[in-house]
Amino acid sequence: MHKNIVLEVNHLKQYFPIKTGVLRRTTGRVKAVDDISFEVHEQETFSLVGESGCGKSTTGRTILRLLEPTEGDVFYNGRNLLDYSKRDFRKVRRDLQMIFQDPYSSLNPRMTVKQLLIEPVLTHKLASKKEAEKMVIAIAEKVGLSTEQINRYPHEFSGGQRQRISIARALIVKPKLVILDEAVSALDVSIQAQILNLLIELQKEFKLTYVFISHDLNVVRHVSDRVGVMYLGQMMETAATDTLYERPLHPYTQSLLSAIPSHDPSVKKKRIILKGDVPDPSNPPSGCPFHLRCPKVHDRCKIEKPIFKESEPEHWVACHLYDNEELSLQP
Amino acid sequence: MKEFFVKLSHDKVGIMGFTGIFLVVIIGLFSPWIAPYSPEKMFTSHVMEGPSSQFLFGTDEFGRDILSRIILGTQVSLKVGLISVGIGASMGLLFGLISGYFQGKVDSIIMRVMDVLFAFPDILLALAIVAVLGPSLSNTMIAIGIVFTPVFTRTVRAAVISVKESEYITSAVAIGVSPVKIIMKHITPNILAPFIVQISLALSGAILTEAALSFLGLGIQPPNPSWGGMLDASRTYMEFAPWTILFPAAAIVFTIFCFNLFGDSLRDILDPKMRKS
């Protein structure tokens, strides 16, 4: 089971300062991403799931240094991405692309599709202008846009078509890793399926590695090889998709999965209803971040923060319930 | 460009503004040939005469033809308007882009300087600058340019900040586009609409400021004709010779009105949501 690790995130932290008063003094910090670690293997789809505000998008953006992390390391093919200067990192960006949630705001409204697609090629000096135009036509066809559509402006397209443009824009430079930040959440269900299938096809064809950020558990199950569950900026559980959906270990994952609506209304599912709200990330609870709402909470959870560890092979969890079977080393 | 005129032709108000400006520009360009008389020629036997077939707009206190003076004044007004707004707009665009994109310390420094300039009333600041530099045509233009810089800087900065938060800018950063290219290709085209509207407003504002400066005697120096100077000269006689003040004032109003109409229609045309391939 030794696969090539493409991306390794180590103890990544992203704190946003809260500034108040006339002097803009930092009075607190929002711990959007609080010490998370995970690996992504070559050509797999690794999903990050969690409620809104749990820090999954921030994680994605921090990996690509769209936000500079507070602490931690991000290794891409063994090199620490945070060691690059901003200028040098621009060259590395070719390998690491991102697709955004909202296809209505992620495309410059004043550029035609052709201009939008040619820009990454010319930015990374991958081809002459003439060849670049050929590449544009090729990639447009790949994502299902016709040649005559490439001279139009983004507002002339539907949401699904725009997302195809975004995909083409990310893939035209032949990246290795693509971060999909809620890439299909803004689309309606029938279009979602089309785009997801397109993404899966393209992944096979271009041998891509995906980091798929989503809150939609059904979509995640459909596309992912492995899944990481986040809560309040922390990683709760990481496992292969089937393992996670069949045998979730963490009480949070269990309650999350119990919330998936069933396709068959006659089947009565046991819903685990959580009490209360997600705590304020600027003032997270002591001990386990989930202890205030956990149905299986015990005294230890309130004081001691559980360590994220491999409780079963390839199945990592941060919960005191599984402390007895300590099998493995720390990450 | 062709597309632009097609769009304009569908907008009646825009055509009115554009035609008006076109007229004013033509008059300005060909004023020495259009004017029936020399603006400085005094008809001593026709002092302060009302409109007649010989002098369409009447004559002033020295017997000079008001129509000719207005026509020659067009040139001055347009020149001052265009050049001073050019100065103000380009400085404002530069500072606004830098300020809005990089933010932080640079932003604070630029914006505090602009705040200081902004704190003075337009006319007072322009007067002060002209008083320091000395009254002349070019100094008037520089003064008005400086007066308009803070407005442009603020307009551009605000637009840059809002555009900068859009996801397409993040997307360009993620692709690896350099900051200079992001500013040039992604931000600038998307802030043009408020910028151009601001230019059209500033053009009329600059013409007004020039008129005000000339009215106060610190702008264009007599005997050179300028609309503001004409207002100044005729203000003492306006009760019994209203034509001396009415026609120059009408020229100012007409020009400003046309620029505003045109600016409005420009904004609509430049809105990408109205654009079709």
Q: Establish if A64 belongs to a structural domain.
A: yes
Indicate if A120 and A230 belong to the same structural domain.
no
Over residues B171-200, the mean pLDDT reads 89
Q: Establish if A237 belongs to a structural domain.
A: yes
What is the per-residue pLDDT across A259-311, written as a single tens digit (0 to 9) for each? 887 777 777 777 778 877 788 888 888 888 888 888 888 888 888 888 888 88
Over residues B178-202, the mean pLDDT reads 88
Higher pLDDT, A261 or B78: B78
- Running DSSP on this structure, what letter comes out for residue A322? G
Within an 8 Å CB–CB cutoff, is residue B175 touching chain A? yes
Q: In what order do the strands lie in the sheet with A79-80?
A: A25-41, A5-20, A71-76, A79-80
Indicate if A287 and A219 belong to the same structural domain.
yes
What is the per-residue pLDDT across A223-273, written as a single tens digit (0 to 9) for each? 999 999 999 889 999 999 999 999 999 999 998 888 887 777 777 777 778
Percentage above 70 pLDDT, chain A: 96
CATH topology assigned to domain B2-30+57-274: MetI-like fold (1.10.3720)
**Rounded Cα distance, B72 and B33, in Å:** 10
Task: Please tell me the predicted confidence (pLDDT) of residue A326.
Answer: 47
Q: Is the pLDDT of residue B225 over 80?
A: yes
Q: To 5 degrees, how large is the angle CA B243–CA B248–CA B251?
A: 125
Instruction: Calculate how close chain B gets to A99, using CA atoms only, in Å.
Output: 8
By residue range, what is the domain housing residue A26?
A: 5-95+178-188+197-322
Q: Is the pLDDT of residue A1 over 50?
A: no
**Domain count across chain A:** 2
Indicate if A206 and A60 belong to the same structural domain.
yes
Whether residues B273 and A155 touch (CB distance < 8 A) is answered with yes
- Residue A213 binned pLDDT confidence (cut-offs 50, 70, 90): very high
Decide: pTM greater than 0.90: no
A168: closest CA among B22, B171, B56? B171
Boundary residue ending a domain (A140, A174, A208): A174
Over residues A81-87, the mean pLDDT reads 90
Within an 8 Å CB–CB cutoff, is residue A91 touching chain B? yes
A294 in Cβ contact with A251 (< 8 Å): yes
- Residue A313 binned pLDDT confidence (cut-offs 50, 70, 90): confident
Percentage above 90 pLDDT, chain A: 42
- Cα of A2 vs its chain's centroid, Å: 23
Write down the mean pLDDT value for chain A.
87
**Rounded Cα distance, B194 and B170, in Å:** 22
Q: Establish if A65 belongs to a structural domain.
A: yes
Q: Establish if A182 belongs to a structural domain.
A: yes
- Residue A327 binned pLDDT confidence (cut-offs 50, 70, 90): very low
- Residue A330 binned pLDDT confidence (cut-offs 50, 70, 90): very low
**Rounded Cα distance, A58 and A284, in Å:** 17
Boundary residue ending a domain (A120, A139, A174): A174
**Rounded Cα distance, A14 and A310, in Å:** 24
Q: What is the CA radius of gyration of chain B?
A: 22
Task: Please tell me the predicted confidence (pLDDT) of residue A324.
Answer: 61
- Residue A196 binned pLDDT confidence (cut-offs 50, 70, 90): very high
Instruction: Calculate how close chain A gets to B169, using CA atoms only, in Å.
Output: 8
In chain A, what residues touch B175 (CB-CB under 8 Å)? Answer: 93, 97, 119-120, 123, 169-170, 173
Report the CATH number at residue A214.
3.40.50.300
Task: Please tell me the predicted confidence (pLDDT) of residue A29.
Answer: 85
Q: Which residues contact B218 (CB under 8 A, 6 or more apart)?
A: B127, B130, B131, B135, B140
A12 in Cβ contact with A72 (< 8 Å): yes
Q: Is the pLDDT of residue A24 over 50?
A: yes
